[in-house]
Amino acid sequence: MIGSRIRKILRDVWARKGRTFLVATAIFIGVTGTIALFSMSDILVGQLRTDIKEDELPMVQVSMSADPDAQLENEAYMKALADYPDVTTVQGGFSETPIFFKSSEDEDSFEDGFVKAYAVLNEQGELVDAPMDAPAVIDPYRVVAGTLPAPGANELSVETRMADEYGLSVGDTLYVRALSPSRDPATNGQTGTTEAWTITAIVFDPYAFTPKTTIYTDVANADYLAGRTGFNDFWLRFTSYDIADEQFEEIQSFIAENTPYTVAFAQTEDPAQSQLITGAQTISNLMGVLALVALIVSGFLVINVISSLVVEQKRQIGVMKSLGATRGDNFKIYSGIAFMYGLIGVIPGVILGIPAGNAAAHALAPEVNTIITGFRTSTFSIVLGVVVGLAVPVLASIIPVWGGTRVRILEAMTDLGIDANYGTGPLARIINKLPIPITIRQGLSNISLKKSRLTFTVITLSIAVGAFMGIFAIFESLTSGINLFIDSFNIDIGVFPSEPRDPDEVTTLIQDNFADDIQTMEPGFQIQVNFKGYEPELGVAGPPGIFGYGYDVTSDTPAFKFEISEGEKLTAENASNGIVLSSLLAANMDKTVGDTVVLQVPGNEMEMNVVGIADFPLEQAWADWHTLANIAGYTFDTIVPGTPLPEDAIPAEVQGFLSQAGSFIKYSTVVGIEDYAGSMPNDQVLALGLTPAVAPYLTFDEGSFPGDSGGDTPGVIISSDLASQLGLSVGDTLPVIARTADGSQGLPVVGIFSLPPMLQSGMSADFIGMFWRDLATLDGATIQSEPLPQGWFIITPIQDPTADELQTILDDMNDTLIEAGVPTFSLNFVELTDQISSGFATFQAILSAVAGLIAVVGALGLLTTLSMSVFERQKEIGVMRSIGAGSGTIAGQFLTEGLVVGIIAWIVGLPMMVLLQKVLLSVTGFDETFPFELSYTAMIVGLVGMLIITALASLGPSLGAARKTVSDILRYQ
């Protein structure tokens, strides 16, 4: 009997090859998708968990900028942070700081890159470059090849993905643009020189956000290459994340109040829930679950096929029972057929799913910031695909087989293949009265008769269209929200100096050199802000916090544009303390026009009046840029000279040198020294007002760089040559005669230095240096503090510019500014928009493709169902032929059935779309930023897509029915 059952199974599977192919294909698609996508998830998340360690992640990261005029004591700041209650680890340095490089000296343009460097306190409490093998280092990287650069040498490391991208290896040369005055004596301290740096190591950094363009070196070199002063990041770990979260705002205020740094942005994250891992896991698992759904819904197709097979073989079942076969024997036969369908689909599904999962993991690895090497598999995913692929058809067959094998012998032997209930019942009577063509009514009647069979097809298609519409709606919402955010910036390009610089200097450089490329140029400001008494629920979407954006409210072409839905816009009259809130922020804060809010930045706060509310889906606010800059303490000190300096006081060649000094020399004049004939006209000596940025370039024989006296007696530094001529040492008094004073003033000598190479060819040896503020005061000048914009937003005269057109302008601007000693960070907003859109489109395509798998399974189910219907209804087709029905009429009837099934599936899929949209928003964390909105576009696209799919699936069976001849029909049964 066992052999007979097996032969029966194999013969039925082979006899209906088309049906077998369709069912096995549906299972194959589900198994392939399940194995591939779950493997991809398992491989990626497993690699991320290997790369990213919880105890290496910061709990708080604070990004800031330093005034180049400030004298920084980073070691003291690090010690203060290390002593802060509950802080266990503190690290300073540079994170993703912009630089420029090229891999070949012959290349015409530079690539935009980033430099990273870390500093920590050693056991002796000294500030040192972080050894990457130290256990306390946050966000460490590891050496893949070579050795780490030697401190102070022109050496660097590159990330392994950057090495692959540019074909670099240990020992190669990378040409980097130094954004600080050059160390090379031959350049006379010129800024922006191209220098050859040796790659000594290839490293892997799992925490890098831009690994294909990231280099690594020590802190001093990073400072030199980036043209910055001091750190731009502090990373901290606390005894627990809960404490870190509680201290988040306090630690920012501590930094702002106890250091010269201005906090621009800060974020906190639970290392146990790192977005680097959870984000990838959420997306990957979501795709895997959708693929698993495709496999499960293929079971509905099995139910239909087995149901049809049992009905079709009712006489065979009766004959087998008459020969002694038990109900169990019949159950085993038809469940065995279902198992064979599964086996036929599983085998190629496993063969294709394994490499597909490996390929998908390799392809998606850069998107989730990791590297996959070699061929990877996931045993769990393979077992899951095989077990579910075999179990689903067998389990799906239980109900129809159990019901079908209950048939009695007499019933089976007297079956004529004609349904006596055709056209009866209330639904049939309603269909009969519809004012539509008879062929369409007949199609609807056939659907009403096969309700149970078509139910599973409808469910499959409704899941497919619901998933597609939900995914489409999600990304439509995200894309429109992001585009609305980007469109609120009324700019083409943005130019942001790396450090606070004289705004007149920057605007003059740009306007004098690029007048033809500029239509409008507006100052702007942005900073992360809080509002007293309000705790925002921060999601993973949108800006990581509430940002305040500042613009020129008096401009006819302001850098930001938004629609005021309530109140009024910002004007010169209300700009000093007025603020506009986004509609989402106002609603969450329960604020309206006329209310007051207390805007807080680290170390300061200000009460402001809500003058307007803008219709905007993100939590953010707008104010006059002067107001935001003043609140943030982002100001620039302008020196207003007292008595004008005679034109011939400083020779032209020296003036030329001083003009290239950049941020090193902020003020210059001449002074006299009692009983000493200086090299300047009238026996004067050149006096330079120095900023702390020059300190690393001075080698002191005695003493140190002069700090800001703060009103006390200022100190001076002199060259070793001048000290020798005057017989002075540190601690002695230098009798200085100011231009505006009657007599000399004794100033203490605080440092004696050797003339640096950059000064040797352009300067005489007899000059003195002072902290610039002290020298300006000594010379009778006054100092005024003015708000400073963070950058300038520019609109070009180009209509609909491309990213390449804007980048050409930006490259030229960068060259001009860097050569003038003003290193900048620039933004190409068209390129930014393209990158964001591309990233969203990638994930949308992947998720839509998975939804498409379900749609294909549903289409196969409809194709199979209609094919079986054609086979079962051959006598009906014969009757229609006998009364003159043509091929078009018959084909139209079956096509109508398919389209009606598609429309019903679309209607049923609408609530599924809503449910999936809400689930997707929740699991991805976008629900806080992008509230649920019903998408009518998704509905229309889903309906059109469903009609196309069902029409295509119905076309084959419809044509097959139309081709049936009378002889074919007479041979039926």
Give residue 764's pLDDT.
67
Terminal CA-to-CA distance of the chain, rounded, Å? Answer: 27
Residue 662 scores a pLDDT above 70: no
602 closest CA partner among 221, 257, 880: 257
Which residues touch 960 (CB under 8 Å, ≥6 apart)? 867, 870
Mean local confidence (pLDDT), 675-686: 88
Q: Round to whole Å and give the CA distance between 933 and 962.
A: 45
Residue showing tokens 């190669």: 172
- Give 465-475 pLDDT, tens digit per residue: 887 788 778 77
Mean local confidence (pLDDT), 392-396: 80
- Give 122-174 pLDDT, tens digit per residue: 888 888 887 765 556 888 888 899 998 988 889 999 999 999 999 999 999 99
Residue showing tokens 């990581």: 544
Model confidence band, residue 831 (pLDDT cutoffs 50, 70, 90): confident
Six-digit token pair at 904? Answer: 């019903």
Contact 809, 645 (CB under 8 A): no
Give residue 542's pLDDT.
41
* Out of 282-296, 373-387, 629-643, 732-746, least confident range: 282-296
Q: What is the DSSP string of 271-338?
A: GGG-HHHHHHHHHHHHHHHHHHHHHHHHHHHHHHHHHHHHHHTHHHHHHHHHTT--HHHHHHHHHHHH
Mean local confidence (pLDDT), 65-87: 87
Whole-number Cα distances in Å, 441 to 452, 808, 943, 949: 19, 65, 22, 22
- Give 500-537 pLDDT, tens digit per residue: 788 888 999 999 999 999 999 999 998 888 898 888 76
Whole-number Cα distances in Å, 17 to 12, 337, 343, 344: 9, 12, 15, 12
What 3 state SS string does 745-812 have? Answer: EEEEEEEEEECCHHHHCCCCCCEEEEEHHHHHHHCCCEEEEEECCCEEEEECCCCCCCHHHHHHHHHH
Helix (H, G, I), strand (E, B) or coil at 542: coil
Give residue 70's pLDDT.
76
Model confidence band, residue 541 (pLDDT cutoffs 50, 70, 90): very low
- Give 483-508 pLDDT, tens digit per residue: 777 777 888 999 988 877 888 889 99
Other residues' Cβ atoms within 10 Å of the Cβ of residue 374:
6
Give residue 78's pLDDT.
92
921 vs 474, residue with greater confidence: 474
What 3 state SS string does 126-179 have? Answer: CEEECCCCCCCCCCCCEEEEECCCCCCCCEEEEEHHHHHHHCCCCCCEEEEECC
User: Biggest alpha carbon distance in the chain?
Assistant: 135
**Range picked from 809-813, 852-856, 891-895, 961-965 for highest mean pLDDT:** 809-813
Counts of helices then strands in the chain (DSSP H, E):
28, 30
Q: What is the CA radius of gyration of the chain?
A: 38
- Give 949-971 pLDDT, tens digit per residue: 777 777 766 666 666 665 555 55
Model confidence band, residue 1 (pLDDT cutoffs 50, 70, 90): very low
Model confidence band, residue 198 (pLDDT cutoffs 50, 70, 90): very high
Mean local confidence (pLDDT), 701-723: 86
Which residues touch 416 (CB under 8 Å, ≥6 apart)? none
602 DSSP 8-state letter: T
Give residue 789's pLDDT.
92
Q: Round to whole Å and give the CA distance between 279 and 464.
A: 24
Other residues' Cβ atoms within 10 Å of the Cβ of residue 149:
23
- Considering the entire predicted model, what is its pTM? 0.73
pLDDT, averaged across the chain: 81
Mean local confidence (pLDDT), 665-694: 88
Q: What is the DSSP string of 39-60?
A: HHHHHHHHHHHHH--GGGS-SE
Residue 412 scores a pLDDT above 80: no
841 vs 699, residue with greater confidence: 699
Mean local confidence (pLDDT), 287-292: 68
112 DSSP 8-state letter: E
* Out of 189-203, 230-244, 262-276, least confident range: 262-276
Give residue 609's pLDDT.
96
Give residue 420's pLDDT.
47
Q: In this prediction, what percent of the chain has a pLDDT beyond 90?
A: 25
